[in-house]
Structure 1
Amino acid sequence: MLSPRRLAATVALLAVLAACVLALLVLADLITFGAAAATAAFLVSLAALAVLLLAVRRLDGKAQRIDLRVKKHETELARTTTALKRIETRMDLLVQAVEDSAARRADDLGAILASLGEDRVNAMARAREVEELRAEVRALAKDAV
């Protein structure tokens, strides 16, 4: 297919040739000026239709390329959306695992603190018992003297 520039140059050359032929026919009195004008108008309208046809074909080609590009982007968007959903699912699993771990850690810390508290209370009770035993030993030691 001819490029738009080459096609325009060819059409311009043919238009000049047609105008020259019509002028010669009018000068030779083979056709009337009105018939030549009507023929020229008809040729101009045919040329305009040809230009419109080429413009429509070019626009149709561009529309097809744009449509293909849009479909390509839609496919990429669908793939990206699917990947994001997978990532979101993984993130939800990780968040749940972190929350479970934090809950277990909190339970463990609570148990450790509770056992430390119990040990401290027991140690205080034992310290009192030891103090009482010392007091008894001192009292016995004083009585023995």
Structure 2
Amino acid sequence: MIRAVVALLLALLAIPVMAQDSMPPAPYAYNQLDDPRLEAEATTLMHTLRCLKCQSQSIADSDAPMAGDMRHQVRSRILAGESPDQIRGWLIARYGDYVSYEPEVSATTWPLFAAPVLLLLIVAGVLLRRLGKRRSDAGDTV
């Protein structure tokens, strides 16, 4: 009896997962726009946006359902007259900075841009001190 109840509960919990993959793709997920200029804008933008599910591919290259939905959003918004910058801003507002392969400097991302510069300055300082110390030691022995 308990096994039957547990099996029923597990089956009920799995229904939303199964429903997600059985949904048909959005119209522009796999279909290009009729206007080649608009499709070129959409494709260029899609190559700069990260698939949040696979994380190593752009939404243009990913076969994940979420990437298809994002491609549909990009194409629909381009067709509605929005600029690629407006669409990028909307996607960043919705999904966060991680969605973009071209992050902007902001209050949350500035350490990512400052850390490499700071590291290079520290390495340069250490090297200069060591080289200066060697030269002074070489001058003392002559």
Same fold (TM over 0.5): no
Q: Please state which structure has a larger fraction of its residues in helix.
A: 1
TM-score where L is the length of structure 1: 0.32
- The structure having more radius of gyration, on CA atoms, is 1
TM-score where L is the length of structure 2: 0.33
Larger relative contact order (C-alpha < 8 A, sep ≥ 6)? 2
